[in-house]
Structure 1
Amino acid sequence: MEFEYLAEETERLMIRPLQKSDYQQWLNGFCGRLESQSPYDEGRLDMSICTKGWYEQLVEKHHQFIKKDEIYIFGIFRKADGIHVGNLDIVTLSRSHFQWAECGYTIHNQFWRNGYAFEALTAMLKIADKRLKYHRIEAHVNIGNQPSAKLLEKAGFKYECTREKFIFENGEWADHLVYAKTLNNLPPLNI
């Protein structure tokens, strides 16, 4: 597996960069989504353009992002059956003196309320800390998305501020809550 050093196992999940061989499990995860379950859930998605060739190009693009230390996109797979339950990402905001990143997470809605988001987020924090050596990681949450805010707090993130008109969503600029977590206190590498 390419980028094996970025893989992390939990009791029930495998967190790792997507591979070309994951196509069918990845597609099944998306195709199994239910209708929208909340204002922050896209629900069912049109996956008609997501051919195997399209997916392989997507994986190649993800791998290029990793090689450039720009974005790390991880699939979340159940260990018991290999089912794709969602994705995580880590975006480098700044290295140098900061070692700073932003993270995001999505669990397919048919797998909600199983504790997968917390389990996967906790594993991703280990990767961000031990393997990628980030010092600070933050997450941005739509101001009304209380389940996501509670998840971050449970994972040890602290609320820092509200960024007004931060992101363009659904035809308007939306406020977002900013949560952050300090990972390690090691001095930055290569500065």
Structure 2
Amino acid sequence: MAEAETFEATSETKRLTIRPLERADYAEWLAGFNGRSPSKHVYDPGRLDMSACTEHWFQELVDKHQQLAHDDTAHVFAVFRKEDGRHIGMVDFSTLARDDFQWGRIGYTIHNQYWNQGFGKEAVTGALDIAFTELGFHRIEAHINLDNEASVRLAESAGMKFECVREAFLYEGGAWVDHLIYSINHK
């Protein structure tokens, strides 16, 4: 992407800064992924091979995120711990519909070495503030696998409510699978 407008939405919580990735974030971003512990459950990828994630690759990723934001297709936010600048995870919003809906989907991940410290709830709550106040969404949904109890707990802790089960909702692992739908509306 050529030098274009930069998406600048940011949220500050008590312990976190939530903002789009910048080119200067490469070392901290990579350290967050390289510090991951082995997988703790089926929805935790654990340690990842980051050898293909060169600084050049990362610069292209940042540019791609900016283009997605510019096009209002997706808005991707990095989560950094304020006390030391550590990259601890990501939160993203995909635009499902605009016009009379202003409807989006949230995705979230916290590096597993930072689990069980309340960072997930704080990151999702801070990111939802961006979704409602900066991005103009009215409704945000989380689409969660039926057996992903950790994701359900996180969605509920951030104020999202169970709405329904969507049958054969997502093609995943070679089959159409059901998903729990959790949602929250801007008040």
Same-fold call, TM cutoff 0.5: yes
Q: Which residue pairs with 2:7 in the alignment?
A: 3
In the alignment, which residue of structure 1 is the partner of 2:138?
135
Q: Any idea what SS the aligned residue of 2:167 has?
A: strand
RMSD: 1.3
Amino acid at match of 1:3: F
| Local SS of the residue matching 1:177 | strand
Contact 2:7/2:70 (<8 A) preserved: no
Of 160, 168, 172, 1:157 maps to 160
Count the aligned residue pairs.
Answer: 183
Q: C-alpha separation between the residues in 2 aligned to 1:168 and 1:48?
A: 28
Q: What 5-or-longer segments of structure 2 have no aligned partner?
A: 1-5
Residue of structure 2 equivalent to 1:179: 182
1:22-65: CA deviation from partner (whole Å, max 9, x where unpaired): 00000000011111001110111111100000000011000001
Note the residue ranges of structure 1 that are not aligned, 5 or more in a row: 185-191
What is the TM-score normalised by the length of structure 2?
0.94
CA deviations over 1:54-98 (Å, ceiling 9, x no partner) = 000011000001111110000000011111000000011011000
1:34 aligns with 37
SS at match of 1:127: helix
Q: Could you tell me which of 25, 31, 54 is aligned with 1:22?
A: 25
What is the identity percentage for the equivalent residue pairs of Structure 1 and Structure 2? 51
Specify the alignment match of 1:65 in structure 2. Answer: 68
Q: CA deviation at 1:146?
A: 1.3
Q: Which residue of 2 aligns with 1:187?
A: none
